[in-house]
Structure 1
Amino acid sequence: MALHSSHLTRRGIAVSVTTVLAAAGVTWGVTTAAQAQQASSGTRTCTVNDLYLSMGRKEGAAGSLYWPVRFTNTSTTGCALRGYPGVSVLDSAHRQIGPAATHSGSSYSTVALAPAHSASAVVRTTNGPVGGPCLRTGSYLRVYPPASTKAVLVPAGWKTCSGVFQVGPVNTDGTF
């Protein structure tokens, strides 16, 4: 799991076993959904090593708090994201606080990211204890980009309230 912060390099050092095996020419004979998408679209799926994750600006509206998680392509080639990221809140000791975010239910499409371009997925909770208590404030969001089994820790002071913790799909419109 990589940690993204302004104090660290923009790209993680960790290399997944799958990447090492693929570089060595080892194949498993199994096609994943991400590989099938890549083959049909001609654009490869973004990996954690291609992306720098950061938080956008928090906004409140109609009793909700919205905060975009930004995915920036730091590689030298284009790649694509499709769907919802996995998101959970962690404390300073990297223990999960409460359940992971549920999907907003919004429709989505494939987002092609040229080098140095970004897309976002917006997380949402209530703006305070409306119909239920708030959990303690976390220090990080653990984010699995769509189609990834590798997560990134993004420094973020997030507090889930009223049992509402949702994430929207990755998009370039900034919508939930």
Structure 2
Amino acid sequence: MSNILTRAATVASAALLATTGTLVGAVQASALPMTPTCHVADLDLAVGDADGAAGSLYYPILFTNTTSHTCALRGYPGVSVVDARHRQIGTSAIRTGEAVETVSVVPSETVTAVLRTNSPGVASCRPTSAYVKVYPPNSFQAEEIPYHLRVCGAFEISPVQASE
């Protein structure tokens, strides 16, 4: 009986393939290859100039693709501030809750995530950092960027976005 069922299934699959070009249960491969994730080694990381508004300071975290191929970033970077001895000062930046998108980064292109803190005098401040430590999205490897940043009150990070 099982031979009859197997043979019937084979005949039905062949007929379906002949008429539609699709085989039931077959996995179709994507026509486009997957873009690899950007890793620390693929990127030049930097902190851009602060921009202030309404008691807040906004610092762009810049991710520049230094490779000869396109790579992708999706989500939030991990960000913290550390002292000269490489010890973390306070808690890491919290996520803003904004929706995330996959951002393709072509060679030499820069994309950003925005770090927000309050202006001094608006809220209590942590000691000034010696470095900003950044983990690209979906990475377990970080880079410490030499930068003197004073976190006051809020400490938030946005997801990576294409630069405008």
Give the residue type in structure 1 aligned to 2:140. Answer: T
Rounded to whole Å, the distance in 1 between the matches of 2:138 and 2:155 is: 20
The Cα of 1:100 is off from its aligned counterpart by 0.3
Aligned to 1:168: 158
Rounded to whole Å, the distance in 2 between the matches of 1:41 and 1:154 is: 33
Superposed CA deviations along residues 61-113 of structure 1, whole A, max 9, x for unmatched, are 01000000100000111100000000000011111001000001111200000
The Cα of 1:129 is off from its aligned counterpart by 3.4
TM-score by length of 2: 0.78
Structure 1 runs not aligned, ≥5 long: 1-39
How many residue pairs align between the two structures?
133
Structure 2 runs not aligned, ≥5 long: 1-31
RMSD (Å) for aligned C-alpha atoms: 1.4
Change (3 A) 1:88 1:53: same
- Counterpart mapping for 1:126-137 below 5 A: 126-130=118-122, 132-137=123-128
The Cα of 1:128 is off from its aligned counterpart by 1.4
TM-score by length of 1: 0.73
Following TM superposition, where does structure 1 have runs of at least 4 consecutive aligned residues deviating by more than 6 angstroms?
none
| Percent identity (aligned) | 46
The Cα of 1:57 is off from its aligned counterpart by 1.5
Aligned to 2:71: 79
Aligned to 1:57: 49
- Counterpart mapping for 1:63-142 below 5 A: 63-130=55-122, 132-142=123-133
The alignment partner of 2:41 has SS state of helix
